């Protein structure tokens, strides 16, 4: 299957991402929590149908964070969705590598997504139980 890959646009957050997070029962992160206020990532589509998106955080260390992966729940072709998610993680990881990161990090609490990360060469580290966040 051939997919289209593009950088997230400012309108994608409200048009697609918030709805997708809610469809999966997740609370959408606010734009301020996302890299580049919600545009610091990639969207994968099949022709013109958006399938999935994710984000890349870069820092002043050699670690990049590849996360907030979300997919269009209404996209029912599971095989293509899995391939698109694989391509998304691979693309974000490649961008991290090109940015001189030496490690990629992700917090995953979804078994099917963990499998895709592993297929992309990620290894499981410690299991976390609690996320700690403080608004400043």
Q: Give per-residue pLDDT as tens, 28-74.
A: 999 999 999 999 999 999 988 999 999 999 999 999 999 999 999 99
Q: What is the pLDDT of residue 131?
A: 75
Helical axes 78-98 vs 111-119, angle rounded to 10°: 50
Whether 53 contacts 43, CB under 8 Å: yes
Predicted structure pTM score: 0.93
Whether 97 contacts 129, CB under 8 Å: no
DSSP state of 69: E
Show the tokens assigned to 59: 């820092």
Q: How far apart are CA 72 and CA 19, in angstroms?
A: 9
Q: What is the pLDDT of residue 133?
A: 78
Q: Give me the domains of the chain, ranges plus CATH numbers.
A: 4-119 (3.40.630.30)
Q: 103 has which bridge partners? A: 63
Q: How far apart are CA 124 and CA 107, in angstroms?
A: 10
């Amino acid at each position: 299957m051939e997919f289209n890959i593009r950088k997230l646009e400012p309108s994608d957050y409200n048009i697609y991402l918030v709805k997708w997070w809610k469809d999966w029962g997740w609370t959408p992160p606010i734009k301020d929590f996302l890299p580049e206020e919600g545009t610091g990532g990639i969207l994968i589509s099949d022709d013109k149908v958006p399938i999935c998106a994710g984000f890349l955080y870069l820092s002043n260390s050699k670690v990049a964070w590849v996360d907030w992966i979300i997919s269009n729940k209404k996209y029912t072709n599971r095989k293509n969705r899995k391939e698109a998610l694989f391509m998304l993680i691979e693309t974000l990881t490649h961008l991290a590598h090109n940015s001189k990161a030496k490690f990629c990090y992700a917090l995953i609490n979804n078994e099917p997504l963990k499998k895709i990360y592993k297929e992309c060469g990620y290894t499981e580290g410690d299991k976390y139980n609690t996320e700690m966040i403080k608004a400043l």
